[in-house]
Amino acid sequence: MSTEPDTQTSDALDSELAALLDVERFPPPPEFREQALLKDPAVYEQAARDPLAWWASEAEQLHWFRRWDTVLEDSNPPFYEWFVGGTLNASYNCLDRHVEAGIGGRIALHWRGEDGEERDITYAQLLAEVKRLASALKAQGIAKGDVVGIYLPMIPEVVVSMLACSRIGAPHNVVFGGFSAEAVRERMEFSQAKLLITVDGAARKGKTAPVKDRVDEVMGGLPALEKIVVVRSKGTPCQMQPGRDVYYEEILAEADAECPAEPLDAEHPLYILYTSGSTAKPKGILHTTGGYLTGVCATHRYVFDLKPERDVYWCAADVGWVTGHSYIVYGPLCNAATSVMWEGAPDYPHKGIWWELIERYGVSILYCAPTAIRACIKWGPQWPAKHDLSSLRLLGTVGEPINPKAWLWYHRVIGGERCPIVDTWWQTETGAIMITPLPGITETKPGSATRPLPGVFAEVLEESSGEPITEGQGLLVLTRPWPSMLRTLYKEPERFVETYFERFGPQTYLVGDAARRDRDAYLWVIGRIDDVVNVSGHRLSTAEVESAIVAHPDVAEAAVIGQHDEDTGQAIVAFVTLQGDLEGDEGTIEGIRATVAERIGKFARPKRIIWSEDLPKTRSGKIMRRLLRDIAEGRALGDVTTLRDPAVMEQLQHKISERQAEED
């Protein structure tokens, strides 16, 4: 692993430049600070002095059936346990306790469908539906500990499904709706899901995708999978297999309206979420109940300065990624927030739909990915200008570095220069936000996620010595356990240790990102150091894409890299060698892209395919992706002497310049 690859991208240079010049700094606006939940910088020292007491006091904000005996059990690192001995239930914390506190009439979700349909769902209504589905799942044979797959679009039923699972202690395994049915199958197989909740069809910019039919094509032959529950959402006709498939609405109608929330151990698995790693096999990140809920609840409140009685909060991610799990479902509901949930894309039915929704619901907090901001910059300021955005008081970003230009546009055009911006760094593995400004305290610098939250300890280590760096670039690590950390990789504990804790030992979590620490100790996250690429904030493994490409019958070999991209942060470039003397043409390109869409999902399709007779390999046959990245980014080539055939690089360089000339 090397910290070098992604550091030279122009976004990174952009941010490095901003840091070097230390151009503009943005202190919290005084009127914001005055009202902020956290405004005294002493919270950092307080948490640093006694992190366990800090987290325990956050855990106190939750409802526990039984209080914990031990805050942190750390006798077997890196297998940490939090709030040991305590019992609680996530669905109870997100629903029942609010209804019991008399705020059941508050709107939990303002759901808006692609065609303009609206459903305002209160906490009391959400609870009633969750109880019914939880009873129905039990009636279908689901018991505590059984894994339930969820493959649903952005409809309220996805939230109901997740909470119904957590109510009965059945860990959910949600798969993002943009993944293909094959990817769902793989994730169901790995997690041995017993039941899958899916949908007849999903809205896709005015069209309907036949989801259930696609699922049927691939879902046979999984012995563990006994049932498929189908939400009738779009009325898309679909085949129902007797004995296996049931309609959501029908099982709900027959279900018992009561279903008490099961008291679960703090360390009971809440969910598995597959994410991409260095190899083609996705990693099943396992989160448990007490620590995770403590982490997402506290961070959602403090980072977004949430005032649940007044705020309307909108996290514009998809529920199928960790951002959706933590900041659409568990964090906001645990805090009794009112949220907006939008079914569709940011550019359908028109490019101003986000701003229309902000005006319509009076959104005060918006949380989205820098890619979306860059798309809006491209579409032009006339779209937001048509709407009253004065309800906004705080803006957030997540998922990828934000270049200062996009940051400043967000600040001026969307935030009207009055809203603090929280650039939140975290990962599927961390469960909750780790590095971010606190909006009432931290002075921000565009492009920097600033500093770790109170109770979180991050350092930048020198790559070879492992020594902490006070100013400069190296490997980002987290040096103490935190409550919402992943507990293991599902069914792969050795891989868990090896991936995150082998390099610096069981006390030091290796993040997988390179970062720079500036002279004010601000952190600038640069990008991945492993073979993971980040396309529009979506995390993908190059190995996974490669293995999809070689599934195409004409392909002999493929190497995939992430290349800097103005719009999507990174774009996928594939170097492909075809079988025998086959010649690649437009048809082959389309065929390869279709294969990737089928195996993983459309979002993983390579943007560029470059034919190459050979790939740069070491004498032992290992593909040197570093060299491919160098030529794709137009950098001087590093050492090529270890290559089996150095001439390969010349040919490739030639091809790339040809391609660039064509594209220009």
Alpha carbons 600 and 594: distance in angstroms, whole number: 10
Alpha carbons 375 and 537: distance in angstroms, whole number: 13
Residues 6+ positions from 42 with CB-CB distance below 8 Å: none
Cβ of residue 303: shortest distance to ligand WTA, in angstroms?
A: 12
Is 371 one of the binding residues for ligand WTA (CB under 6 A)?
no
DSSP state of 444: B
User: Which of 130/486 has CB closer to ligand WTA?
Assistant: 486
Which residue's C-beta sits nearest to ligand WTA? 428
**Helices 647-663 and 625-632, interaxial angle, to 10°?**
40
Is 539 one of the binding residues for ligand WTA (CB under 6 A)?
yes
DSSP state of 8: G
User: Which of 298/398 has CB closer to ligand WTA?
Assistant: 398
User: Which of 182/400 has CB closer to ligand WTA?
Assistant: 400
Residues 6+ positions from 472 with CB-CB distance below 8 Å: 460, 516, 517
Report which of 570, 548, 569 is spatially closest to residue 558, judged by C-alpha positions: 548
User: Which of 311/423 has CB closer to ligand WTA?
Assistant: 423
Is 528 one of the binding residues for ligand WTA (CB under 6 A)?
yes
Choice from 186, 400, 459, 544 touching ligand WTA (CB under 6 A):
400
Is 426 one of the binding residues for ligand WTA (CB under 6 A)?
yes
| Beta strand 523-528 pairing with 509-517 | antiparallel
Identity of the amino acid at 466: G
User: Which of 229/435 has CB closer to ligand WTA?
Assistant: 435
For residue 357, the Cα-to-chain-centroid distance in whole angstroms is 23
Cβ of residue 435: shortest distance to ligand WTA, in angstroms?
A: 7
* Cis preceding linkage at 78, omega within 30: yes
User: Which of 92/330 has CB closer to ligand WTA?
Assistant: 330
Is 449 one of the binding residues for ligand WTA (CB under 6 A)?
yes
| Beta strand 532-535 pairing with 538-541 | antiparallel
Choice from 180, 278, 289, 427 touching ligand WTA (CB under 6 A):
427
Residues 271-310: x where in contact with ligand WTA by CB under 6 A, - otherwise, as a string: ----x-----------------------------------
Alpha carbons 289 and 87: distance in angstroms, whole number: 9
Alpha carbons 655 and 509: distance in angstroms, whole number: 40
Is 320 one of the binding residues for ligand WTA (CB under 6 A)?
no
Alpha carbons 542 and 459: distance in angstroms, whole number: 27
Is 6 one of the binding residues for ligand WTA (CB under 6 A)?
no
Choice from 201, 282, 401, 439 touching ligand WTA (CB under 6 A):
401
**479: exposed, middle or buried (C-beta count within 10 Å: 0-12, 13-18, 19+)?**
middle
User: Which of 203/432 has CB closer to ligand WTA?
Assistant: 432
Is 424 one of the binding residues for ligand WTA (CB under 6 A)?
yes
User: Which of 111/425 has CB closer to ligand WTA?
Assistant: 425
**258: exposed, middle or buried (C-beta count within 10 Å: 0-12, 13-18, 19+)?**
exposed
User: Which of 92/524 has CB closer to ligand WTA?
Assistant: 524
Cβ of residue 339: shortest distance to ligand WTA, in angstroms?
A: 18
Interacting residues with ligand WTA (CB under 6 A): 275, 321-323, 398-401, 423-428, 449, 512-513, 525, 527-528, 534, 539
